[in-house]
Amino acid sequence: MFDLDGTLIDSAPVVADVLNGMRQQHSKDALGIDCYRSWSSEGGTVLVGNALDIPPKDAEQFVPEFRRRYFDYPTPFNSIYPGVIEMLRVFKSRNIRLAICSNKPENLCKKVLNEVNLDSYFDIVLGGDTLTKRKPDPLPLIHVINEIRINPNQILYVGDSLIDQNTARSAGIDFAFFAGGYDPKITLGPSDISFSTHDLFVSDLISQGKING
């Protein structure tokens, strides 16, 4: 199972363009892309609030506009992190079922995956609004476990944030941390895996016997 933003896709450039456009409407200067990367794990309301310099409770009214603009903004193919396509091909060639568990709304997850031609790799796509609860609640991960009918010790959740790590722990499954994502400040647990490139991640899984070489 994979998180999406900051794990498979660097969506920060698109988010920055969309929210800087909204800032312009509010007579505010554009912010640098690193601001948006650091806020991306916090969820849409906090992200929009930080971008517009307003409290989250006041930002809620602007979230639908942000999501509409995001939906209309094409996702560049080069948003995919290097090595992701090759990694997914290895997994699919070994008949490993793949899922997305993101806090981004489901329609935006599917839109992004479709625009960068990654949609065919995933058997299940869960967004933050698919179920009654979202990360860090373990429900989305547990839902996938039940859907594919597999033992939790055979599943790995791959993400880039403390939220992802806590979600995996709550669901009782192992966690793999992508260190090239948006939230580098996490402490790895004894069973956690860390990787900096997706090709090395696959090599490590093969060398550890977690997937067939």
Q: pLDDT tens, 37-67?
A: 988 877 889 999 999 999 989 999 999 999 9
- Based on the fold, state whether residues 49 and 99 are members of the same structural domain: no
- Based on the fold, state whether residues 93 and 155 are members of the same structural domain: yes
Q: How far is CA 212 from CA 93, 191, 195, 205, in A?
A: 10, 20, 19, 8
Residue 135 has pLDDT above 90, yes or no: yes
Instruction: Look up the CATH number of the domain holding residue 146.
Output: 3.40.50.1000
Q: Are 109 and 1 in contact (CB under 8 A)?
A: no
Q: Show the domain range for 19.
A: 12-72
Residue 94 has pLDDT above 70, yes or no: yes
Residue 116 has pLDDT above 90, yes or no: yes
Give every strand in the sheet of 193-195, ordered side by side: 156-159, 174-178, 193-195
- Based on the fold, state whether residues 185 and 101 are members of the same structural domain: yes
What is the pLDDT at residue 207? 86
Summarize the confidence of residues 199-208 as an average pLDDT: 90
- Based on the fold, state whether residues 83 and 161 are members of the same structural domain: yes
Q: What percent of the chain has pLDDT over 90?
A: 85
Report yes or no on 5 lying in a domain. Answer: no
Summarize the confidence of residues 88-98 as an average pLDDT: 95
- Based on the fold, state whether residues 52 and 156 are members of the same structural domain: no
Which two tokens mark 196?
Answer: 């900096």
Q: If pLDDT is split at 50, 70 and 90, which confidence band does 213 have?
A: low
Q: What is the total count of domains within the chain? A: 2
> Of 48, 72, 96, which residue is a domain's last?
72
pLDDT averaged over the chain?
94
> Which residues are tagged catalytic?
3
Backbone angles phi, psi at 9, to 5 degrees: -125, 135
Q: How many residues appear in the chain?
A: 213
- Based on the fold, state whether residues 114 and 130 are members of the same structural domain: yes
What is the pLDDT at residue 139? 98
Summarize the confidence of residues 195-203 as an average pLDDT: 94
Summarize the confidence of residues 113-129 as an average pLDDT: 98
What is the C-alpha to C-alpha distance for residues 134 and 102, in angstroms, rounded to an integer? 8
What is the pLDDT at residue 76? 98
Residue 88 has pLDDT above 90, yes or no: yes
Q: pLDDT tens, 136-189?
A: 999 999 999 999 988 888 899 999 999 999 999 999 999 999 999 998 878 999
> Of 42, 72, 102, which residue is a domain's last?
72
- Based on the fold, state whether residues 185 and 107 are members of the same structural domain: yes
